[in-house]
Structure 1
Amino acid sequence: METSDKYLFKYRGCCFIQNMVTPEYIDSLEDFEIKDSDVFLVTFPKSGTIWTQNILSLIYHEGHRNGTEDMELADRVPWIEYNIQNVDYVNRPSPRLFSSHLPYHLMPKGLKNGRGKVIYVARNPKDVLVSYYHFSKVSVLLEEVEDFDAIMEKFLAGRVLGSLWLDHIEGWYAQRDNMNILFLTYEEMKKDLRSSVLKVCDFLGKRLTEEEIDDVVDKASFGKMSVDRRTNYTTMPPDVLDFSKGRFMRKGTVGDWKNIMTVAQNERFDSVFKERMEKLPFKFCWDINDEL
């Protein structure tokens, strides 16, 4: 391990939650056997992970869509790096759905060699930061930093879960021609969820009826997800999430950073991120009113 504190440890360039995974397990993932039918949802933390997990679950599992089964997202689309319940991932029935915050270089070799499919969801890093700030208050597993300036400096230095946002997105986007990968942004999903669901279905080769698509879109709305115990994490034990400090699903909006960050903080953020962001080979829709 490179560095560690009470909440996070850094290994091979990435920050992980203490006591939920070991360096040995992270290393073992390199040889995790990938099937062609596997689907990986990859995000930097607080970039729409739960939302997209739910969309995948609704697309693949009719019982999730029609409400005939009661299975949480963490069981439907489990974390490849945080197998805290020691589930037999190897023998899960296909298609296996997985979530991950891992950087590209720590992913299984099979995935890098073109097996399976990857959906990568990116979000405006300023909104990611604000969401992480609020989430740290609810999460017992993360350090609660009351001072926004302090957590912003940690974020800009990559001393948060997932490490540096820029490294994460650059590492994955560099593989866009080498892997079976679909890139989405949180903002385009907010702007036109139906088009995004159709894009995911097309990428995965899933054929749903118009009515089924409508149902997925309806149940993937923030309003429906915030009251669905399968998606709102209210079943999490109090030693993981403390709901007296706030809600896990808080707003689900675009541009909330404008309500939190001061002009000086915004300028500080841009001074660190802007130069590298301008070199990223794609254009972000940062605002819900931007043209895609």
Structure 2
Amino acid sequence: MFAKLRSLIRFIRCYSTLDREIDDRIHTSTGLMRIDETVPEDIFVVGYPKSGNTWMQNLLAGVVYGLDPEYMPDDLVDHLVPDVHYRRYYRRFGTPMHFKSHHLPRPGYRRVIYLLRDGRDVMVSFFHHLRTFHDDGKIDFGDMVRTGRNLYPSKWHEHVNAWQSNPYDAEIMILKYEDLLAAPVKQLVRTCQFLAITRSNSLIESVIEKSSFARMRAKEERFAQGNPARRKDKFLVRRGIVGSYKDEMPEQLLDLFLTDAAETLRASDYL
């Protein structure tokens, strides 16, 4: 048994060395870097899934780079503001870079914009998101809320609590989804201040207009049809409203969710 264990350890070490050699060759020949190779000045837009992450990714691509979000394919947006869960490599266009992430707190995440959304709306949106990639009936809403099955990277309240505790003493700006929806110009100006960049109100207003949910849905219809994993009768950009749980979350599931999340909702001024 010990011989097999030693063989396994040698294999893992050899694989790790080979993996690093491949990464080094890719960097030398293309300039691409591993997605986990970042610097302390980099900024991570972190939020529990379905908290406005993709919306903010588009807004940042427009504000930081001065491009028109309406005509940026998702792949271009993801090159400019890389999704750490989607890419193994990325290209640095400058410092700081901006990344999209759903991770729990990490030591390397030194500057963070934390997107916070009412967990009840998040659960409804997450359920519909999963149904975009699975046949009807394959995702059980009740089981998802009760056990956390299919949720990532944790339950909603665990994610929010972890980031609010700020275990690695990161510089964090908390941005509520509801505030961004109600006063987008004010919140993007606040975001620019956190990023230490200056942008005109006219640019900010244009980026907001071009990143509206109607425009993003239209862009999804134009550019996302090539995604073989997505059902053609479902869309990732859905309602995006505040309070969707009121007509989409059965009362018994709401009570079940509150068993875990009521304290976090209350601390975040959602109750």
**Which of 68, 84, 97 does residue 80 from structure 1 map onto?**
84
State how far apart, in whole Å, the 2-side matches of 1:97 and 1:236 are: 26
| Secondary structure at the counterpart of residue 112 of structure 2 | strand
| Secondary structure at the counterpart of residue 100 of structure 2 | strand
Q: CA RMSD in A?
A: 3.2
The answer to whether structure 1 residue 150 and structure 2 residue 143 are counterparts is yes
Counterparts in 2 of 1:1-20, with a 5 A limit? none
Rg comparison, structure with higher value? 2
Alignment partner, residue 199 of structure 1? 190
Distance 1:42 1:73, change over 3 A: same
Counterparts in 2 of 1:179-258, with a 5 A limit? 179-229=170-220, 234-238=224-228, 240-244=229-233, 246-258=234-246
State how far apart, in whole Å, the 2-side matches of 1:232 and 1:190 are: 24
| Secondary structure at the counterpart of residue 213 of structure 1 | helix
The answer to whether structure 1 residue 98 and structure 2 residue 99 are counterparts is yes
Alignment partner, residue 173 of structure 1? 164
Q: What residue identity is the alignment partner of 1:93?
A: F
> TM-score, normalised on structure 2?
0.76
CA deviation profile, 1:17-71 (whole Å, cap 9, x unmatched): xxxxxxx99xxxxx9443244221101111111111011101111234585x655
| Secondary structure at the counterpart of residue 191 of structure 2 | helix
> TM-score, normalised on structure 1?
0.71
Alignment partner, residue 283 of structure 1? 269
State how far apart, in whole Å, the 2-side matches of 1:173 and 1:235 are: 37
Q: Which runs of 5+ in 2 are unaligned?
A: 1-18, 21-34
Q: What residue identity is the alignment partner of 1:283?
A: D
State how far apart, in whole Å, the 2-side matches of 1:122 and 1:183 are: 7
Matched pairs, number: 240
Q: What residue identity is the alignment partner of 1:110?
A: G
CA deviation profile, 1:161-181 (whole Å, cap 9, x unmatched): 222111111111112892221
CA deviation profile, 1:128-163 (whole Å, cap 9, x unmatched): 1111111111125x99645432232233xx651222
State how far apart, in whole Å, the 2-side matches of 1:172 and 1:271 are: 20
State how far apart, in whole Å, the 2-side matches of 1:187 and 1:50 are: 15
Indicate conservation of the 8 Å contact 1:194/1:217, yes or no. Answer: yes
Alignment partner, residue 55 of structure 1? 59
State how far apart, in whole Å, the 1-side matches of 2:115 and 2:219 are: 22
State how far apart, in whole Å, the 2-side matches of 1:263 and 1:136 are: 21
State how far apart, in whole Å, the 2-side matches of 1:161 and 1:233 are: 26
The answer to whether structure 1 residue 126 and structure 2 residue 120 are counterparts is yes
State how far apart, in whole Å, the 1-side matches of 2:199 and 2:70 are: 14
Indicate conservation of the 8 Å contact 2:130/2:139, yes or no. Answer: no
Indicate conservation of the 8 Å contact 1:145/1:151, yes or no. Answer: no
State how far apart, in whole Å, the 1-side matches of 2:157 and 2:245 are: 18
Indicate conservation of the 8 Å contact 1:225/1:232, yes or no. Answer: no
Indicate conservation of the 8 Å contact 2:59/2:69, yes or no. Answer: no
